[in-house]
Chains A and B, each alone.
Chain A
Amino acid sequence: SQQGEEDPQALSIQEGENATMNCSYKTSINNLQWYRQNSGRGLVHLILIRSNEREKHSGRLRVTLDTSKKSSSLLITASRAADTASYFCATDSGNDMRFGAGTRLTVKP
C-alpha cells in the first residue's frame, strides 16, 4: 500500500521558476527519499534525507524533513524543461520502501 500523499498532484511552471513539491507520510521512518520518473521509465534516485536530518542540498535540489509533522518537501530551483517528470517521495522504514502518489511536474520552455 502507499505510504504517503503528495501535493500538488500536478504542477506546471515556466523555465527558470522554482518548483516545490510536498510529501506527507504516516508511520515512523529511517529515511525519506525522492525519486524522479520520466514517462514510461524506471525511477532514478535523487536524494536521501535521514530521519535525524532537517535539510539537505544536492545541486539545484533542496529537501526538508519535519518528522514531527511527518512531512517533507522537495524544492527544485531554476527549473529547466528537462526537469519535466514525475517526482515521488519514498519512505524507508527499514523493512521496505513505500512510495507517495507523486507530483507530475511540467516545466515549460
Chain B
Amino acid sequence: GAVVSQHPSRVICKSGTSVKIECRSLDFQATTMFWYRQFPKQSLMLMATSNEGSKATYEQGVEKDKFLINHASLTLSTLTVTSAHPEDSSFYICSAKGPRPNIQYFGAGTRLSVL
C-alpha cells in the first residue's frame, strides 16, 4: 500500500515551453505533498509544500511564478515549470504524507531536460 505515482518519468522540452508534472497518491489520501529538486549526486532540496485546497508554501529562493503548484484534490498535486530554461533541467521528485505517521512516500521522480 501507500503508492505514489509520478508522471511523466522523463520529459524533454524546448526552452520557453511549460511542463506539467503530476503526483498522485494511488491508494491513500494525501492532504500534504512535497516537491523536491535533486541535482546529480546531490541531496533533495525541498521546493515547496503542497496542501490540498490551499496555496503551496514555497521555500526561500524558489520562484512561485516559475514553479506553479496545484493541489486540487486529496490524491493529486501538480508542478508546472513555466517558461522552462536549460537551468531548470533537473530531477524533480514528489512525496506525500501517507497512512503511516511521519513517513513520506515518494514518487519515482521526473527527469526534466530543457534544450
Contact surface of A with B, Cβ cutoff 8 Å: 1-2, 30-31, 33, 35, 40-45, 48, 88, 90, 92, 96-102, 104
Contacts of B93 in A (CB 8 A): 42-43
Q: Are A40 and B109 interface neighbours, CB within 8 A?
A: yes
Q: Nearest chain A CB to B60's CB is how many angstroms away? A: 8
Interface of B is mostly: strand
Could you say which interface size class chain B belongs to?
20 to 34
**B66-104: contact bitstring with A at CB < 8 Å (1 yes, 0 no)?**
000000000000000000000000010101000000111
B46 CB–A CB distance under 8 Å: yes
Contacts of A30 in B (CB 8 A): 102
Contacts of B102 in A (CB 8 A): 30-31, 33, 48, 92
Contact surface of B with A, Cβ cutoff 8 Å: 4, 6, 34, 36, 41-46, 49, 59-60, 91, 93, 95, 102-109, 111
Q: Are A2 and B43 interface neighbours, CB within 8 A?
A: yes
Q: Are B103 and A45 interface neighbours, CB within 8 A?
A: yes
Q: Nearest chain A CB to B95's CB is how many angstroms away? A: 7
Q: Nearest chain B CB to A34's CB is how many angstroms away? A: 11
